[in-house]
Chains A and B, each alone.
Chain A
Amino acid sequence: DGGITQSPKYLFRKEGQNVTLSCEQNLNHDAMYWYRQDPGQGLRLIYYSQIVNDFQKGDIAEGYSVSREKKESFPLTVTSAQKNPTAFYLCASSIGTGLRGEQYFGPGTRLTVT
């Protein structure tokens, strides 16, 4: 079955540690996205990538980093510089600009930093 996988579902880290969230898709989609979801704030875009080896900052990129070395993979690193890292993180992908807005989401990773 085609889809997006995110692992792990729950992640716990100590303050000051970097942590990398995994996102893999087998939909052959060109574009991939990372969102952060906080209660009452909807989804906010962290980074997005339209093609391999290229990515752009979204609205809240500070304290995060990404890479796009393979079409299928778009890992997100939450660095110690991110002031409030505890959140639910969602990865998504889309074909590209052909079908605007139709993004496919993974199940999410809930990160808790103490």
Chain B
Amino acid sequence: GDSVTQMEGPVTLSEEAFLTINCTYTATGYPSLFWYVQYPGEGLQLLLKATKADDKGSNKGFEATYRKETTSFHLEKGSVQVSDSAVYFCALSALSGANNLFFGTGTRLTVIP
């Protein structure tokens, strides 16, 4: 079945460091891929998405590229800020059937000044 494997955390970085959070997926066909972010005590917010191979999603300085050959969708940011501290979830949505999301286990990022 469809699934997402996400880099385990927690991840602690200094401000302005480079961030990579790895995400790989297993799915039939070509799913849509997403990164959601959860700030402390809140629900999830869509951060970025990609709907087909080689698409690059980007938002707020974060980027992720849909790599079909490696079934990956790694999240990157060139210079993290303290305000980026949150839990990041990789997710996929199959092309057919109900619009259900399959989530990874989440990666907690803490950025220290």
**A residues lining the B interface (CB < 8 Å):** 4, 6, 31, 33, 40-45, 48, 50, 56, 58, 90, 92, 94, 96-97, 100-108
Contacts and interface: CB of A to CB of B under 8 A. Distances in A.
Interface string B31-69: 011101000011111100101000000000000000000
24 contacts: A6-B43, A41-B105, A42-B6, A42-B89, A42-B103, A42-B105, A43-B44, A43-B103, A44-B103, A45-B101, A58-B100, A92-B44, A96-B99, A100-B51, A101-B33, A101-B92, A101-B93, A102-B46, A103-B99, A103-B101, A105-B45, A106-B43, A108-B42, A108-B43
Nearest to A91: B43
A55 to B, nearest CB: 11
A90 B106 contact: no
B95 interface: yes
Contacts of A105: 36, 43-45
A42 B106 contact: yes
Dominant secondary structure of chain B at its interface with chain A: strand
Contacts of A56: 98
B32 A101 contact: yes
Q: Interface centre among A6, A43, A92, by most B CB within 10 Å?
A: A43
Task: Output the residue of B89, B95, B103 with the most chain A CB within 10 A.
Answer: B103
Contact of B44 (A6, A40, A90): A90
B91 interface: yes
B110 to A, nearest CB: 16
A90 B99 contact: no
Interface of B: 6, 32-34, 36, 41-46, 49, 51, 89, 91-95, 98-101, 103-106
A33 B100 CA distance: 9
B84 to A, nearest CB: 19
B98 A101 contact: no
A100 B51 CA distance: 9
A4 B44 CA distance: 12
B43 A107 contact: yes
Contacts of B46: 102-104
A96 B43 CA distance: 20
